[in-house]
Amino acid sequence: MRDMAILERAASGTSDAIGQPSRAPVADDKAMLRTAADLTRDLNVPRATIYWADMIGSALFGYVALFTAMLAPSSLVAILAGVIAVLALYRAGSFIHELTHIKQGAIRGFRLVWNLLVGVPLLVPSFMYEGVHNQHHAKTYYGTANDPEYLPLALMKPSTLPIFLVASLLAPVALLVRFAVLAPLSLLFPRLRALVVARYSGLQINPAFRRSPAEGELARQWRWQETATSVWAMALLAMVTTGVIPLRVFAIFIGVASGVMFLNQVRTLVAHLWENDGEPMTVTAQYLDSVNVPPPATLPALWAPVGLRYHGLHHLLPGLPYHALGEAHRRICAKLDPASIYHHSSHRGLTPLMVRLARSSWGR
């Protein structure tokens, strides 16, 4: 199964651009790394008022739009409200990424409220990401077969990209099955439980990744979150089956959830350049394989919210709260020489990144 992580890699070797040989190992730019850390030391404390207002506001706005779509008198209103619901709930859902990085207790109650308001209703409780995403940031794991969030997409066949996107549209149905069917059954069958924990309890893209059982506080969080999500999933299916929730309303819910997953998958496609061939990388090399899409581009505020437009910078300084990344980027850009390697990770927007990835894939 480990080979699936490097599925469809060109047999003749890898390249960092079409027609170019494999890139040489990138040494760490210690001056750049030190400058970035020194300039941002005062930005490391998360501001609770920003987190609470942004997350709750996005979630409530999204649910209002979702219920508007469900009750809309016309298809046009339903579609418009559905699009707004996708964007707002996607932003609210993106705080799952922040939960993996802010220190325990830094914003008291935030994890609990996020799960109750967003994670459980949308079938993506935070235990599905916590304990998984941190391995993506491990210096010796990034871009290797041990990284749950990395596939060398630029080195794989073109058919991989549409499959990667289509799979996200089916994710809400798969999550319903996972929580409404597999989770309760796994309590009766230990082998099934081991399978559910290892393969179906993480929001990863590397099919070779196998999750280990959680321990300590994460295990406690896992138990209540999984229980709550399973109860909600079973209740939802029961209400649909008995007609309490009309099929049309259920279809809109699934459609909006699929839209959220699809938008996140599009963002994932351009979060990195996906050009690593499985070998360990320096921190600087990891940064160069990651993507910033800073201003003046405006659309990233929609498809890469909650600081995700600064994904490259996030890999340099994963402890920075999302609301500080813009200021950190401005400080670093002002301090470093225009020829600094730091600027090489900034890109113009979604379309050029998608074209680059597609061209690289077609060139295999």
Taking only the tens of pLDDT, the chain with its 364 residues reads 333 333 333 322 223 332 333 455 788 899 999 999 999 999 999 999 999 999 999 999 999 999 999 999 999 999 999 999 999 999 999 999 999 999 888 999 999 999 999 999 999 999 999 999 998 998 889 999 899 999 999 999 989 999 999 999 999 999 999 999 999 999 999 999 999 999 999 999 999 999 999 999 999 999 999 999 999 999 999 999 999 999 999 999 999 999 999 999 999 999 999 999 889 999 999 999 999 999 998 999 999 999 999 999 999 999 999 999 999 999 999 999 999 999 999 999 999 999 999 999 887 6
- Decide if 8 contacts 271 (C-beta within 8 A): no
Average pLDDT for the chain? 91
HSE on the CB side for 61, CA within 13 Å? 16
**Euclidean distance between CA atoms 4 and 204, whole angstroms:** 13
> Which tokens sit at 38?
């020194």
H/E stretch holding 24 = none
Crossing angle of the two packed helices 30-39 and 325-335, in degrees rounded to 10: 130
Cα angle 329-334-335, degrees, rounded to a multiple of 5: 100
**Integer Rg of the chain from CA:** 21
For the chain, what are the domain ranges? 1-9+28-364
Question: What number of CA atoms fall less than 13 Å from residue 356's CA on the CB side?
Answer: 18
**Other Cβ atoms closer than 10 A to 305:** 22
